[in-house]
Structures are given as structure tokens and as C-alpha cells.
Amino acid sequence: MDLFDSLPIEEAGLTAEQEIKALREELAEQNYKYYVLSAPTMSDREFDEKMHRLQELEAAHPEMYDPESPTQKVGSDIVESQKSKVESSEGFARIRHRYPMLSLANTYSREEVEDWVRKLPANVEIVAELKYDGLSISLWYENGKLVHAVTRGDGTEGDDVLPNIKTITSIPQTLTNTPKRLELRGEVLLPWERFEALNKQREEQEEPLFANPRNAASGTLKLQDSKEVARRGLTCYLYYMLGEHLPGKTHYERLELARKWGFPVSDAIKVCKNVDEVMAFIAYWDMERKNLPVATDGIVLKVNDLAEQEELGYTAKSPRWAIAYKFAAERQLTLLKQITYQVGRTGVVTPVANLEPVQLSGTMVQRATLHNEDFIRQLGIQEGDKVYVEKGGEIIPKIVEREKSKDRLVDSKPYIFPEVCPECGTTLVRVEGEAAWRCPNEVSCPPQLKGKLEHFVSRKAMNIEGLGSETIGMLYENGLLHSIADIYSLKQEDLAAQERLGEKSAQNILQAIEGSKQVPWARVLFALGIRMVGETTAKKIAKRFRSIDALQWASKDELMGIEDVGEQIADNIVAYFADIRNLEIITRLQAAGLQMADVSNQQSAVSVPQVLAGKTIVISGTFTHHSRDEYKQMIEDYGGKNSGSVSKKTDFILAGENMGPSKLEKAQSLGVRLMNEQEFLKVLKGEN
Ligand code: IVH
């Protein structure tokens, strides 16, 4: 019998080849959503089941082997490569792990745990530990000194985040009487309390919130500013010791030794003699973990005897001597009372489930996102249904399933997505290939207009300080802002009459508005908020079309001739200028005196003194007067060379706030001068 014959019947009439391809695509997408967007649309369990199915199919079809398949990668592998597209780990040295950092096979039931135990040699001792839900870290000690702290990265190579790890006071930085070379592995976490405080602060500062403590810990570990890392208060538990000729014959002995040497090792560890003891440990911590200061998502079981571990060995992805048992996410049955809609700043219409309030993991849940129309159809739900809500590692609860045994009420209606925008009544559109329905009324749909206003005044756009989103919201509600052009018609008395704004802040706002008239053309173009025209694209467009008058007559083909401008962006630009309401706004902005044309380059070609000629300059940190890219351009205009890394050839570093720790260290060791923004601007003016 062919091995394939023993596998479950092919899904929905797909061939094995089609199913493998579909699963690879689906799992890769889920990895991206989970790790990069922090917005998974599949439960961990479903993910593992699909992964298992893919593994089975691939085993039966070795001819379909693909090193890029999600089955061939260690968890964060794909992820790290995808992540690098959105956030760079710039500033950290990459280090190759001495021993690869693997993941663990997951189990979800007593049966699966029993299965695993049964396959082990008889009477083995099993160490049960908590599975901490943070980020794995590898600490390298040489001659008793902590020399590297390496993230998992792709399992083979990670980032050395030592300065940030040094902020965790429970981790010893020096050891005495320990082996020459020692490696400890563990989990870095942001305690619940710190996580909540951080998100509260981010909410106040209108920064995006972290979905869970794991993401917050990950974001924190990647910061270039160790002082900020210290303020956030990371913590750590170590659960694995590696090295040659280490004392101890069992995993447990080694952990106790690590504890004796001063490492933070959890107390929640038990050497179990049989499955019942393992199950008792699981049952106890499934309840008790709610009282822990940090997030946990399961239990890790490890064969205690190190010789037995070695004998059992490893698969390509994980050790055979250990598994994880994942706690089931808490779920509750409740009534889906109504589906309402939220229109976002980009016009995306998101359906929201309004639920009969229900207690879930200590909080009252009454709303849950339904993402988009497809998500609702996949769940097969409609108003009046009984649904299960789950809260896993994510803070945001989600609907996972309809309770099908409950009859629907006779008058319950099948679900239909609305045809018009619930905010402004405009007919919705669905772009091909996108899951979302969108309101196309960018100009006057209230949430979109507010979004446009906020974008316009933001730091990288017109940089109008004092006009935060609350003030914008208030001015909008009070009828003072109907478009971005209205900002330039605001009067002292209008502003001062607003609640929470006195004479002084009104004056400051007007001053900032006045100052924005000096913002260069490329940034004005970015500030207009044409869909998909980001900061960099705006710069490229502004270089090719040096005034708004030239740009508004540009053809689609001409626009597509610009680097980074594809068909969609070109269409968006053409559509923007075809809308008479936008043309009116532009006329008013021009009349207000904004920079709608570029004069700087012509000037620089003839008159900028080459005061930086022959100088190699590195830029690091964040700035207040100009953006990083503007400084890069200025260095070139004034005859200098901008370089990405500090070396002996560096003449000086243009150092902003929060300079990267590794650049700072290198600069100090090479004795390279740091110049702040003010000093640099003086140099350009020839004052230094
Ligand atoms: S042992 C070779 N023990 O879970 C096995 N891992 O998918 C090394 N984790 O990446 C891991 N708590 O970050 C181990 N008590 C614990 C753990 C633990 C959390 C994480 C770890 C690893 C992931 C496994």
C-alpha cells in the first residue's frame, strides 16, 4: 500500500500537490500575520493541525520537497526574514549560535502527552517546567564574564543585544568559579504590569499599542536606546545550560546549579516519575498561572537524564527529548447580538461583533473584531447566533466558532455586508485581491478626513506641533476644520475659545502653522496624503516633478517612469488630481503660502558652499529640525559623504537623540567626534 493511501481523504477534491501548495501558502501567510503583523487570524491549534497535515503530505511526497516550506523552518525563521522588511535590526552585530536554537514540538491533549511519554525508554524521569511566553535568549559567558546575549534570529544566527540584556538586573554579568565557557538559555519577558503601563503610556502618546507582552518584549529588546530598555523593566527566566564538561548528570541538577551560581531560575519546576505526576503539574499551573507576574502559554516537558537526552537526539526542528504542552485558550459561549461597522482612517470598513457581555480570563468581553467579510463567511455566523469567544496569548478576544447545536431564531437573517459607508453613505468598493471593503470618499468621510488632518500635521509631514489628534478631533467636531486647507484659516480667537486651549497654546499653534509654510515641497506632497504615496515615494516624485503645477498634469505613463511608482500609485495620483475638491484644497494651500515647488536644488547647485568636502559623516539617532533623509541630502549637497557605519575613516557622527548603542561604543573606542544637530547646522552656515 502506498503511504499516501493511509492518509486522510484529500481535502475538498484537491490533489496532494495542490493541497501541499495551498497549505504552504496558508501557513506562510499565517506566520507573517502572527509574527510581523501581530494579528493572527487562525488559532495556534488550527495552525499546528495544518502544519501537521502538511508534514504528513510532504513525507508521503518527497518529490515535493522544498527548503522554503514552512515545515523546514524554525518558528521565527521565516519571520525574521519577513520582519527585516519592516524593521531592521540595524546596530546589532549578527552572531552565529554555537548550538542551533531549536523549537519544541507542540501538544494539546493528555493523549498526545501520554503518546510522547510512551515512546520514551521505560521509567524515565521527566522535568516539568512552565513555558514562558516571551523571547528566547542565549547568554554567553567567557572566563566568568557575560560577553554576548544573542536572540534566536533564524535559529542559526541572531542579534547580539548585550547592552539591552545588561539592563536586566537579575542576570549576573560576572561569575566566579564557573567553567571557562558557559551558555545559558532562557526567556526574556515583559511582566504584565510593565506591559500594561507601557501600553497606557503609548495610548497617551498616540503610538500603536503592543498586542501582547511577547511583542512588547521583542520590540523592547530591539531598541537602540538601553536607557529606555531599562525603564521598561524586562525580566528573564533561564531554563537550559549548555557547554562542554559541565558538572551534573541531569537537567534538573544543572538548573539547580545555575540557580546556585546566581541565575534567575523559576521555582515552578518538578521532577515527575510518571504521566500522572505530569498531568497533576499541568492541571495545577493551568489555574495558578493566572497569578504569575509574566505570561505563560504552556508547560515544557524534558527528559531529565542528560545521557538519555543525547540518545534520543533531535529532529531537524526540535529535540526528541522535550515537548511543549500548550494550554487551551480560555473560551466562552455567548450571544452575537449585533454586527456593527467601524470606518478606519484609510476608509477600510471593519465589522465588529457586539456580544452579550461575558467574563473571559478575568476581563469582561463585549466586542470582538470580525476583520472582514470573508472572515464572517468562513465562520458562517449571523446576528443572533451563539458563538465561542477565545482569548489566547493575544489581548484582543476573537470569535472562533459558532455553536451549531443551537437553533437559529426563525426571524434571524443571513449575513450581508453593507453596500454603503455607515459614516457617510457613499457606496463601498472592494479592490480586487483585497479582503476589505473601503469607502472611497477620502475627502469628506469623517474618520478619513480626521485621519488626513492628523497625517498632514504629523512630524514627518508638516510638523505642526500642538495639533494632536484630540485637538484635531475637537476642531473638527466644532466645525472649524472641513479640510486640510482650513488649518491655514484658523484664527487666534477660534482656537482660544476651544475647551482645553488657552491664549498661549492658541498662539503656539498659530506659530507652528506659520512655520509649516517653510516645509519643502517633497514633504508637502507627502503631507497631502495621496493614497500609497509615502515619504520616500513623495521625495522621488517631487524630484521628477518639481512643482504641484507640473505634477497635476502628469500622465499615468510619466508617473510610472519614476522609480517606485507602479500602476496603482500612478492611478491614485491621477485620481487625486481629477477630483475637483482636491484642486480647490491645493489652490487654497498655494494661496496660504505653502512650498508647492522646489527651489532648493537649483540653489544648492550654484550657491551651497562645499563646507563638508572630503568629510565622511555617519548619521545616528533621531532629529528634531530635519528628517534623517534630509540630513543625508544636506551632507551630499554640502560636498560630504554619508556612510552607514562607523570606522577609522569617519570624520564625525551627526548624533541625534537615542543614538544606537553599538555605534556609540564604536565611536568612543575610535575617538570619533559626536556632533549634535545644532552644531552641525552651524557648520553648514560656516559658523564653526
Ligand atoms: S527549552 C531545545 N524550556 O519555547 C529546547 N523552552 O518552541 C530548548 N520556552 O524557543 C527550549 N519556556 O523560547 C524551553 N521552560 C522552557 C521554556 C522554553 C519557554 C520557549 C523557548 C523556545 C520555545 C519552544
Residues 527-554 have pLDDT tens digits of 999 988 988 899 999 998 999 999 999 9
Would residue 284 count as lying in a domain?
Answer: yes
Q: Tens of pLDDT along 422-470?
A: 999 999 999 777 788 999 999 899 999 999 999 999 988 999 999 988 8
Q: Are residues 291 and 389 in the same domain?
A: no
User: How far apart, in Å, are the Cα atoms of 104 and each of 55, 107, 501, 529?
Assistant: 15, 10, 56, 45
The CATH number linked to 451 is 1.10.150.20
* Mutation probe of ligand 1 site: the residue of 135, 151, 300, 317 with most atoms within 8 A of C-beta: 300
Residue-wise pLDDT for 235-262, tens only, equals 999 999 998 889 999 999 999 999 999 9
Query: Are residues 265 and 252 part of one domain?
Result: yes
Q: What is the CATH number of the domain that holds 559?
A: 3.40.50.10190
Q: Which amino acid is at 683?
A: V
Q: What are the two backbone dihedrals, phi and then psi, of residue 518, each rounded to the nearest 5 degrees? A: -95, -5
Distance of alpha carbon 535 from alpha carbon 136, whole angstroms: 35
Give a yes or no: residue 507 inside a domain.
Answer: yes
What spacing in Å lies between the alpha carbon of 188 and ligand 1's midpoint?
11
Which residues' Cβ are closer than 6 Å to ligand 1?
A: 102-104, 129, 131-132, 136, 187, 239-240, 300, 319, 322, 324
Length in residues, the chain: 688
Looking at residue 206, what is its pLDDT? 61
Q: Which residues contact 181 (CB under 8 A, 6 or more apart)?
A: 140, 141, 142, 243, 244
pLDDT score of 7: 31
In a domain, 428, yes or no: no
Residues 50 and 190 in one domain: no
* Residue partners of 280: CB distance under 8 A and separation at least 6: none
CA distance 278 to 299: 10
Which residues are tagged catalytic?
A: 131
What pLDDT was estimated at residue 34?
A: 67
**Atom 16, ligand 1: which residue's CA is nearest?**
131
- CA 326 to ligand 1 centroid distance, Å: 12
Most confident of 387-401, 558-572, 593-607: 558-572
Q: Which residues contact 634 (CB under 8 A, 6 or more apart)?
A: 626, 684
648 versus 86: the higher-pLDDT residue is 648
Index of the ligand 1 atom closest to the CA of residue 187: 13
Bin 148: left if φ > 0, else alpha if -120 < ψ < 50, else beta.
Answer: beta
Cα–Cα distance for residue pair 338/335, rounded to 1 Å: 9
Q: Answer yes or no: do 133 and 273 share one domain.
A: yes
The CATH number of the domain where 384 resides is what? 2.40.50.140
What is the DSSP code (8-state) at residue 572?
A: H
Residue 431 within any structural domain of the chain: no
Q: Of 460, 29, 25, 393, whose CA–CA distance to 218 is shortest? A: 393
C-alpha cell at 428: 463601498
Cα separation, 602 vs 606, in Å, equals 7
Among 129, 239, 266, the mutation site with the greatest number of ligand 1 atoms within 8 A of its Cβ is 239
| Confidence (pLDDT) at 75 | 46
Flag whether pLDDT at 640 surpasses 60: yes
For range 220-238, the mean pLDDT: 94
> What is the reported pLDDT for 490?
96
- Which whole number is the average pLDDT over 293-321? 94
Mean pLDDT of 119-139: 96
**Domain range for 367:** 331-402
Residue 8 has pLDDT above 70, yes or no: no
Name 488's bridge partners: none
Using CA atoms, how far apart are residues 496 and 24, in angstroms rounded to an integer? 59
Identify whether residues 262 and 352 lie together within a single domain: no
Q: What is the reported pLDDT for 74? A: 60
Residue 475 CB neighbours (<10 A): 22
Residues 377 and 251 in one domain: no
Q: How far is the CA of 154 from the centre of ligand 1 (A)?
A: 15
Q: What is the mean pLDDT of the chain?
A: 87
620 in a structural domain: yes
Residue nearest to atom 22 of ligand 1 (CA): 103
Ligand 1 center from residue 558 Cα (angstroms): 54
Distance (Å, whole) CA 450 – CA 290:
40
Sequence-ordered list of residues with C-beta below 8 angstroms from that of 663, at least 6 positions apart, any chain: 91, 618, 620, 645, 646, 653
Check whether residue 651 and residue 563 sit in a common domain: yes
Mutate to test the pocket of ligand 1, among 104, 238, 321 (most ligand atoms within 8 A of CB): 104
Would you say residue 80 has pLDDT above 90? no
229 & 181 share domain:
yes
315 - beta bridge partners?
none
Higher per-residue pLDDT: 29 or 650: 650
Q: What atom of ligand 1 comes closest to residue 75's alpha carbon?
A: 7
CATH number, domain of 147, equals 3.30.470.30
**Residue 211 corresponds to which cell in the numbers above?**
498586542
Q: What pLDDT does residue 426 have?
A: 97
Is residue 224 a part of any domain in this protein?
yes
- Residue 178's identity, in one-letter code, is T
What band does 85 get if pLDDT is binned at 50, 70 and 90? very low
Residue 421 resides in a domain:
no
pLDDT score of 1: 28
Per-residue pLDDT, averaged over 339-349, amounts to 91
CATH number of the domain where residue 52 is located? 1.10.287.610
Which residues are CB-neighbours of 486 under 8 A, at least 6 positions away?
480
Distance CA 634, CA 677 (A): 12
Q: H-helix or E-strand containing 5? A: none
Instruction: Of 8-12, 186-190, 664-668, give the lowest mean pLDDT range.
Output: 8-12
d(CA 673, CA 461): 31
pLDDT value at 618 more than 70: yes
Residues 309 and 195 in one domain: yes
Q: Which tops the pLDDT comparison, 85 or 392?
A: 392
Place of cell 510638523: 463
> pTM value?
0.58
Q: Are 66 and 22 in contact (CB under 8 A)?
A: no
The angle subtended at Cα 209 by Cα 208 and Cα 211, nearest 5°, is 130
**Given this model, what pLDDT does residue 4 score?**
28
* Count of the separate structural domains present in the chain: 5
Cα of 121 from ligand 1 centre, angstroms: 22
Report pLDDT for 86: 33
Q: What is the DSSP string of 106-155?
A: EE-SHHHHHHHHHHSPTT--EEEEEEE-SEEEEEEEETTEEEEEEE-TTS
Return the amino acid letter for 347.
G
pLDDT tens string 311-339: 999 988 899 999 999 998 888 999 999 99
Mean pLDDT throughout 51-56?
86
The whole-number pLDDT of residue 76 equals 46
pLDDT higher than threshold 90 for residue 292: yes
Mark whether 270 and 178 lie in a shared domain.
yes
pLDDT of the residue at 53: 87
Query: Do the beta carbons of residue 441 and residue 426 sit within 8 Å?
Result: yes
Q: How far apart are CA 369 and CA 399, in angstroms?
A: 8
Residue having the nearest C-alpha atom to atom 12 of ligand 1: 131
pLDDT at residue 604 in the model = 42
